[in-house]
Structure 1
Amino acid sequence: MKIPEPGDRKKELTARRNQKMARSLHAYMRGTTAHYYEWLNGQRSDLLPRGPDIWICGDCHLGNLGPLANASGQVDVQIRDFDQAVIGNPAYDLVRLAMSLAAAARGSMLPGIVTVHMLEHLMEGYEQALIQRGKRTVVQKPEEIKTAVRGADQRSWKKMAKQQVIDAQPAIPLGKNFWPLSQDEKNSLATLFESREVLHLIATLRSHEDDGKPKILDAAYWVKGCSSLGPLRYAVLLQTKGEKPCLIDIKEAVRALAPHAEDAVMPRDNARRVLDGARHLSPALGKRMAPHHLAGHSVFVRELLPQDLKLDIDQLHKEDAITMARYLAYVVGRSHASQMDMATRKEWRRELGLDRRKSLAAPSWLWSCVVKLIAHQETGYLEHCRKYVSGAETRP
């Protein structure tokens, strides 16, 4: 493929995003966060239970959960994307996760009965997190999750470099995933790694005194994700004195689409909002991040570790689908519950249980939302595919 020059990126990124979204209903759903909230905003105000105002992911789908390592190297599944993080209603995360699982089930040709049971177990897993007091995991991990965690735990820098198509020299070869930088971008990145805040982050991660300037071995524009195709994103190979190279991800922080509580006190700067969300929802990752500005854009800087992986689950297996829903809802529930005292947890559990029938463990509000959203997204997905085939949506 011809690698676009910096001035030609926008057209190619739009084309690639449209191509990814045409692959499946689940892929389309991941790329249309705005449609999700547009639909919710068009519904009755009492459609969802009113939860406590806490930090939420705001875009809580399967691809935004995955193994992460903490400072001591322990790996666990956590929320791993905070672009949409705001202080708001935790029900938004629950519905978004439920819709993601339902879309994955449809794409996996699983019968509707499986989706019904998935939503029941999703609620059970989430509520279990609200009840639990200790840190010990009490919800069974599905085999697919166990495999992902083992793979993350055994992943080395060399393997990460290979999977990210980074040379062992080390260098970043230009191609499908990495594009060249302009001289202005190179200069801006060099300035960024001279800032006190970023230098302090690197020094903290490397456990040494903040007394040396790291060396940029290589850098490139990073073509990564689906909904994130468009905002600035850079991969930087960094060398600090006496240490192995590290891979730094620099990503533009854009305005959140998720609605926030009216009286929420959040940073006005988007990168600082993302950082606050990460530190409340997944502290292990939040401690590896720092906000900054790059050429007039708000960005956040984070070190990627070999153990950091997303859950790449486009196909759900019948045997694991139900336990997957229960466990992932438990993971999200732990992040939410960590921000609540016991009285707030109890009240939130009571609120979640309203409109629950004896014949169905999942409350009617959740089932109704998922059914209507899937129908809404299916219509949007098919229309996207029609435009894509006809050329109305740009193709690469």
Structure 2
Amino acid sequence: MPTDRRSVAEFPSLGERAGLLERKRALKMARSAHAYVRGATARFYDWLGAVDAGLVPSAPPVWICGDCHLGNLGPLADAAGKVRIRIRDLDQTVLGNPAHDVIRLGLSLSTAARGSDLPGVTTAHMLEEMVHGYCDALLGHDESLSEARAGRAVRAVLRQATHRRWEHLAQERLERVEPSIPLGKRFWPLSDEERRAIAALVSSEAAQALVGALHGRGRHHAVTVLDAAYWMKGCSSLGTLRYAVLLRVGGHGGSGKAKASYCLIDIKEAVASVAPAAPGAPAEPDHAARVVSGARALSPCLGDRMLPARLLGRPVVMRELMPQDLKLEIDQLTREEAVGAARFLAAVVGHSHARQMAPADRRAWADELKLHHGGGLDAPSWLWTTVVELVAHHERGYLDHCRDFALARAG
């Protein structure tokens, strides 16, 4: 029987979702040390605070990703259709210390190298290249963002994203090209309350204007909800509101004779960030507004297709998913790929930070990064020390998590 014809009674109710989603999250984090790093953002900041409060330098406050690991960078398309690697997930964004993004990326790259059985000396060179790439971007060296230097693994993802169209997105996310969402392992049916709330949100003037603009149509073209479902997706977001909404833009009910187009909307609850904000940083009115503000500062091509809103009394971010939006899912790295990816991805992050800084601040922060070299390498000693300490914390945390998960399953 096709999954979209299954009885609604076979799926968890609204009240049953939280426990099931938490178990799914625990399973995902138990799959590898790298997956554990992705899902343990709160513990990252707890451990970072315990390493040495005076070790990490204070850089000029800017909007930071807050959760700058490999999976939160990837290809994004801008309004002109140009695809570039950018920061693609801003749930944890805050006005904070850019050093936190550098350290988190260093930890993520280090665990990816460990998962690829690369020697420790490769990690040392990766951190060295990270600093080179980040500083080059801070100082406005355009060649730092050259995709030719990104490494073969990153370039392969970028090429794949460039050639993707709606059919690829629908087949990947919905497992079909037809305009419907199949219920099953990833998509669950909505309650009547959820369905009404989503319909009201999509029909709002702000949502209609956003979707119409993204599809090159005026607000006189109708935006119609074809289907919607709860989306069991991600790791850190499990347990919060998450919905997939399939829309038709234009066509029936719209003006003109243009053929209807389809789009997939991701509605995601915005929760409090665990990343520490800079002292005295102004607070956004709610978490959805914070996420969109951070996105517009760090990755404008993404922020421009996001909308802060309210759904069922909670702050949510509404975002259209584009076919070119992909994660950097790199299972295995060679030494050359690891070093190239480290330099290039750090440059991407540095570029996102630099666009928010005055020239004098960029120069001062770059000079700080070049100080305190340790052991003959160009990576500053504070970066090496924090990453090494955090790798040790996460290795232990990961093994403890796996043990707890195994005991829970056995019970």
Number of equivalent positions: 394
Report the equivalent of 2:257: none
Rounded Cα–Cα distance in structure 2 between residues aligned with 1:301 and 1:99: 30
Rounded Cα–Cα distance in structure 1 between residues aligned with 2:114 and 2:334: 11
What's the secondary structure of 2:318's corresponding residue?
A: strand
Rounded Cα–Cα distance in structure 1 between residues aligned with 2:120 and 2:51: 24
Report the equivalent of 1:254: 271
Name which of 170, 187, 192 aligns with 2:196: 187
Rounded Cα–Cα distance in structure 2 between residues aligned with 1:194 and 1:100: 40
Q: Deviations over 1:184-213 (max 9, x none)?
A: 000000110122221221121122221244
Report the equivalent of 1:113: 121
Q: Deviations over 1:227-263 (max 9, x none)?
A: 1111110000001113311000100000011000121
Q: How does 1:174-253 map to 2 (within 5 A)?
A: 174-242=183-251, 243-253=260-270
Report the equivalent of 2:85: 77
Question: 1:27 Cα deviation (Å)?
Answer: 0.4
Question: 1:353 Cα deviation (Å)?
Answer: 2.1
Rounded Cα–Cα distance in structure 1 between residues aligned with 2:164 and 2:72: 19
**2:366 is the alignment partner of 1:345:** no
Q: Deviations over 1:118-158 (max 9, x none)?
A: 11001111011011255983471211111111100111111
TM-score norm. by structure 2 comes to: 0.93
Rounded Cα–Cα distance in structure 2 between residues aligned with 1:148 and 1:392: 36
Q: How does 1:311-326 map to 2 (within 5 A)?
A: 311-326=328-343
Which segment is superposed worse, 207-216 or 97-106? 207-216
Q: Residue 73 of structure 2 contacts residue 89 of structure 2 at CA under 8 Å; is this kept in 1?
A: yes
Rounded Cα–Cα distance in structure 2 between residues aligned with 1:375 and 1:133: 34
Report the equivalent of 2:384: 367
Q: Residue 83 of structure 1 contacts residue 274 of structure 1 at CA under 8 Å; is this kept in 2?
A: yes
Structure 1, unpaired ranges of 5+: none
Q: Residue 69 of structure 1 contacts residue 75 of structure 1 at CA under 8 Å; is this kept in 2?
A: yes
Question: 1:17 Cα deviation (Å)?
Answer: 0.5
Report the equivalent of 1:286: 303
Report the equivalent of 1:161: 170
Rounded Cα–Cα distance in structure 1 between residues aligned with 2:161 and 2:142: 25
Report the equivalent of 2:100: 92
**2:131 is the alignment partner of 1:123:** yes
Rounded Cα–Cα distance in structure 2 between residues aligned with 1:393 and 1:24: 19
Question: 1:180 Cα deviation (Å)?
Answer: 0.8
Question: 1:8 Cα deviation (Å)?
Answer: 1.5
- Structure 2 vs 1, CA of residues 118 and 21 (structure 1 numbering), >3 Å: closer, same or farther? same
What's the secondary structure of 1:273's corresponding residue?
A: helix
Rounded Cα–Cα distance in structure 2 between residues aligned with 1:202 and 1:156: 17
Q: Deviations over 1:51-70 (max 9, x none)?
A: 00100000000000000000
Rounded Cα–Cα distance in structure 2 between residues aligned with 1:102 and 1:4: 38
Q: Residue 45 of structure 2 contacts residue 275 of structure 2 at CA under 8 Å; is this kept in 1?
A: yes
Q: Residue 212 of structure 2 contacts residue 223 of structure 2 at CA under 8 Å; is this kept in 1?
A: no
Which segment is superposed worse, 51-60 or 199-208? 199-208
Rounded Cα–Cα distance in structure 2 between residues aligned with 1:156 and 1:191: 29
Q: Residue 65 of structure 1 contacts residue 310 of structure 1 at CA under 8 Å; is this kept in 2?
A: yes
Q: Residue 6 of structure 1 contacts residue 180 of structure 1 at CA under 8 Å; is this kept in 2?
A: no
Q: Residue 166 of structure 2 contacts residue 323 of structure 2 at CA under 8 Å; is this kept in 1?
A: yes
Question: 1:76 Cα deviation (Å)?
Answer: 0.3
Q: Deviations over 1:25-65 (max 9, x none)?
A: 11011001000111122243221111001000000000000
Runs of 4+ in structure 1 over 4 Å off: 133-136
TM-score norm. by structure 1 comes to: 0.96
Question: 1:393 Cα deviation (Å)?
Answer: 9.6
- Structure 2 vs 1, CA of residues 268 and 133 (structure 1 numbering), >3 Å: closer, same or farther? same
Report the equivalent of 2:76: 68
Rounded Cα–Cα distance in structure 2 between residues aligned with 1:87 and 1:55: 4
Report the equivalent of 1:379: 396
Q: Residue 269 of structure 2 contacts residue 317 of structure 2 at CA under 8 Å; is this kept in 1?
A: yes
Structure 2, unpaired ranges of 5+: 4-9, 252-259
Q: How does 1:23-38 map to 2 (within 5 A)?
A: 23-38=31-46
What's the secondary structure of 1:245's corresponding residue?
A: strand
| Amino acid corresponding to residue 253 of structure 1 in structure 2 | A
Question: 1:336 Cα deviation (Å)?
Answer: 0.6
What's the secondary structure of 1:231's corresponding residue?
A: coil
Question: 1:266 Cα deviation (Å)?
Answer: 3.3
Rounded Cα–Cα distance in structure 1 between residues aligned with 2:141 and 2:336: 29
Report the equivalent of 1:171: 180
Question: 1:166 Cα deviation (Å)?
Answer: 4.0
What's the secondary structure of 2:63's corresponding residue?
A: strand
Q: Residue 144 of structure 2 contacts residue 347 of structure 2 at CA under 8 Å; is this kept in 1?
A: no
Report the equivalent of 2:7: none
- Structure 2 vs 1, CA of residues 195 and 135 (structure 1 numbering), >3 Å: closer, same or farther? farther
Rounded Cα–Cα distance in structure 2 between residues aligned with 1:58 and 1:291: 19
Q: Residue 144 of structure 2 contacts residue 344 of structure 2 at CA under 8 Å; is this kept in 1?
A: no
